[in-house]
A and B are shown apart, each in its own frame.
Chain A
Amino acid sequence: MTTPLILGLLAGAILSGTSLLYATLGETIAERSGIVNLGLEGILLIGASVGFSVTAASGNAWLGLFAAGMAGGLANLLFGWLVVTRKANQLASGLAMMFFGFGASALIGARYVGAVIVGLPKWRPSWLAGFRWVKATTLFNYDLLTWVAIPVAVLVWWALFRTRWGLGVRAVGESPAVAFAAGRNPAVLQYQALSCGGVLGGLAGAHLSLSLTLTWSEYMTAGRGFIVIALVIFSKWNPLRAIAAALLFGGAESLQLQMQARGSLISPFLLDMSPYILTLIILVAWGGSRRLAAPAGLGRTFYGSE
């Protein structure tokens, strides 16, 4: 492999990995509080369509990004109302959110199919642009979301593991009864975790439409939401490991694009399968060892101890 190819791969990995990372971080926070949102796919779609529509309508990508984050947060609050307040089954509620996202994003984005937008601005620090190999690729030519992705991951890790709030969130995810007995309010913490997760999910979706593709099309997330659910498991519910996981999968996506662009003999349909197959393989490989890392209360409904 040549250096430009490797650098191109890396650049692509970082670009596609960005939205995966934000979504993984969001889902990690939610799952740490004991709630699995299988409807993340729907949240991503809502983020992508709201971000795109608002940008197309206002001409301002920052406004679009903000709206996408808000929409993601609100959608997750609706999910929270079902699973926390109404104590509905999490998997079924997640699938309901998935359908809601399918429909709502199609409705929101319908008017802007084919619209042309100016996406999030990208820049490359001038001192980096000096390197010969860098110049030839998109490496280091990133938008704000990509530039701050890793700091955000560190911030999420810090909030979960070094703050009083994070301790409460993790305690609720392990055992709501113990957290309750310790004077924490599990429902409030879960709502907080879900809204953080929703905002990050909305941003992740917006990054797809506002930076990566600059278009809106129905079902454009193509199962990334489900891949992210697997990435959370793969990264053992740890925001720092999530960086590596997102890069790995971003790399797989980028490799697939590079091969298609270079006219590889392998059919594009087979290449398109690779992220899903890779996800399954990783889940299988992780199968035995992941049980200890999962929050013990994940997916269970807490009925209070009164």
Chain B
Amino acid sequence: MPEGGLTAVLRRSTALRTTVRHCGIGVGALLMFAAILLAAGKDPLKAYVDTFHYTLANSYGFSELLVRMTPLLLAAVAVALPARLGLINVGGEGQLYMGAFMASAGAFLLPTAPRLILLPFVAFMGFMGGAIWAAIPGILRAAKLVNETISTLLLNYVAPLIVSYFVFGLWRASENSAYPQSSPFPDAALLPSFFNTRIHAGLLIAVVALLAYWLLLEKTRWGVDMRAIGGNAEAAQRLGIPVPAWIVTALAVGGGFAGLAGMGEAMGIAGRLRQGLSPGYGFAGFLIAWLAGGRPLGIVFMAFLFAIITSAGDTLQMTQGVPYAVVNILLAMILFIVLARRSAGGTSK
């Protein structure tokens, strides 16, 4: 094979190579998705141009991307952390709902508390909501009763029903009872927002969570233990690492981050608890973490990409009458390409 200048550069720089590969996957997925849209009689070019126009072309659109990235980053950490132990947390969606639910409960429990007390309390409740919801599969897995993949998936369907139960019941908004949402939270429970946009303190929490995740894994002895469990759970257990306790802890802490994402959506965006508070952020978080291989910078990059993709879903729905759910096809295409490629690297030299 001729060693061209470009190939030589690519060979030297892994970062560049990774970027080129990621872009290749992105372009491939966009092309396949375009083909599907064409087949469905829609205009993919217009869709892509519109999406660019609504997101990257102006500062408001860009700020909205950051708003979307907030729950995506947290939901991705929720998956990436237990993934280091080889645990598959597909329950981000449910944990997110439970975080929003518990945070709301906190806000309604202390409606008159000052901001300095209520905000941390609400955040704590949000974290605990997700943590408890994820600890259930954790305990079942640690006791070797139920695989965490199936249990987290099942619990995804339960959590929104709990939210609905309260939104339609105890907390139902009095002013407009037709719309499924709670009454507004006390002002002291709302997360501060910045720059006259919808960017809220949840973004700071997300960045801190990502940083904490990185420090935990790379700089502490717990990181060594966790990676040992992920690499070889049997050996880890035989060497005295308390594997069951780690399984519950890692899932619970991960779920807590997803809970914070739900808290952010409720306290930072809606100002009340709503029935459909997440358009699948939890699932997207799984994909982001998986595609990024758990690397913090990869998570940031992928979350940004996913923010654009979900915006594309909204754009499609608004301008071409295509259901938002169709954007899942684009996600699936990216996954298909990555799955088919990755294994090729693994087996055939």
Q: Does a CB–CB distance below 8 Å link A and B in the complex? A: yes
Contact A86 B165 (CB under 8 A): no
- As a 0/1 sequence over residues 271 to 306 of chain A, the CB contacts with chain B under 8 angstroms (1 = contact) are 011001101100110011000000000000101000
Count of interface residues, chain B, beta-carbon cutoff 8 Å: 49
Q: Which of B168, B324, B336, B346 contacts A96 (CB 8 A)?
A: B336
Chain B residue numbers with a CB within 8 Å of A87 are: 343, 346-347
Contact A219 B325 (CB under 8 A): yes
Q: Does A102 sit at the interface, judged by CB under 8 A?
A: yes
Contact A283 B150 (CB under 8 A): yes
Nearest Cβ in chain B — how far from A248, in angstroms?
A: 16
Contact A110 B151 (CB under 8 A): no
Assembled-state Cα–Cα distance A37/B165 (Å): 32
Contact B154 A82 (CB under 8 A): no
Among B293-349, those with CB < 8 Å from A are 321-332, 335-336, 339-340, 342-344, 346-347
Chain A residue numbers with a CB within 8 Å of B168 are: 267, 269
Assembled-state Cα–Cα distance A186/B119 (Å): 58
Q: Which of A95, A102, A269 contacts B325 (CB 8 A)?
A: A102
Assembled-state Cα–Cα distance A301/B169 (Å): 48
Assembled-state Cα–Cα distance A273/B161 (Å): 7
Chain A residue numbers with a CB within 8 Å of B342 are: 88
Chain B residue numbers with a CB within 8 Å of A106 are: 323-326, 328
Nearest Cβ in chain B — how far from A210, in angstroms?
A: 21
Assembled-state Cα–Cα distance A193/B157 (Å): 29
Q: Does B30 sit at the interface, judged by CB under 8 A?
A: no
Q: Does B102 sit at the interface, judged by CB under 8 A?
A: no
Contact B145 A283 (CB under 8 A): yes
Majority SS at the chain B contact face: helix
Q: Does A223 sit at the interface, judged by CB under 8 A?
A: yes
Among A206-251, those with CB < 8 Å from B are 218-219, 222-223, 226-227, 229-230
Majority SS at the chain A contact face: helix
Contact B146 A283 (CB under 8 A): yes
Chain B residue numbers with a CB within 8 Å of A276 are: 154-155, 157-158
Chain A residue numbers with a CB within 8 Å of B286 are: 95
Contact A223 B157 (CB under 8 A): yes
Nearest Cβ in chain B — how far from A97, in angstroms?
A: 7
Q: Does B269 sit at the interface, judged by CB under 8 A?
A: no
Q: Does A58 sit at the interface, judged by CB under 8 A?
A: no
A89, A92, A267, most chain B CB atoms within 10 A: A92
Contact B145 A288 (CB under 8 A): yes
Chain A residue numbers with a CB within 8 Å of B346 are: 87
Q: Does A103 sit at the interface, judged by CB under 8 A?
A: yes
Chain B residue numbers with a CB within 8 Å of A284 are: 140, 145-146
- As a 0/1 sequence over residues 78 to 98 of chain A, the CB contacts with chain B under 8 angstroms (1 = contact) are 100110001111011101110
Q: Does B88 sit at the interface, judged by CB under 8 A?
A: yes
Assembled-state Cα–Cα distance A200/B140 (Å): 31
Count of interface residues, chain A, beta-carbon cutoff 8 Å: 46
Assembled-state Cα–Cα distance A77/B140 (Å): 33
Chain A residue numbers with a CB within 8 Å of B328 are: 99-100, 102-103, 106
Contact A280 B165 (CB under 8 A): no
Assembled-state Cα–Cα distance A219/B155 (Å): 16
Contact A104 B329 (CB under 8 A): yes
A78, A81, A287, most chain B CB atoms within 10 A: A287
Nearest Cβ in chain B — how far from A290, in angstroms?
A: 10
Nearest Cβ in chain B — how far from A294, in angstroms?
A: 11
Chain B residue numbers with a CB within 8 Å of A107 are: 36, 40, 322-323, 326, 329
Chain A residue numbers with a CB within 8 Å of B232 are: none
Nearest Cβ in chain B — how far from A288, in angstroms?
A: 7
Nearest Cβ in chain B — how far from A12, in angstroms?
A: 20
Chain A residue numbers with a CB within 8 Å of B326 are: 103, 106-107, 110
Assembled-state Cα–Cα distance A201/B107 (Å): 45
Contact B169 A267 (CB under 8 A): yes
For the complex with contacts A82-B336, A273-B158, 12 further pairs of A-B residues with Cβ separation under 8 Å are: A88-B343, A95-B286, A99-B287, A107-B326, A110-B323, A110-B326, A223-B154, A229-B150, A230-B154, A276-B157, A276-B158, A287-B144
In the assembled complex, 23 residue pairs joining A and B whose CB atoms fall closer than 8 Å, in A order, are A78-B336, A82-B339, A86-B339, A88-B339, A89-B343, A92-B290, A93-B335, A95-B286, A96-B335, A99-B328, A106-B323, A106-B324, A107-B36, A219-B325, A223-B156, A226-B153, A269-B165, A273-B162, A279-B154, A283-B146, A287-B145, A288-B145, A303-B347
Closest 7 CB pairs between A and B? A287-B145, A103-B329, A103-B328, A106-B325, A100-B332, A96-B335, A88-B339
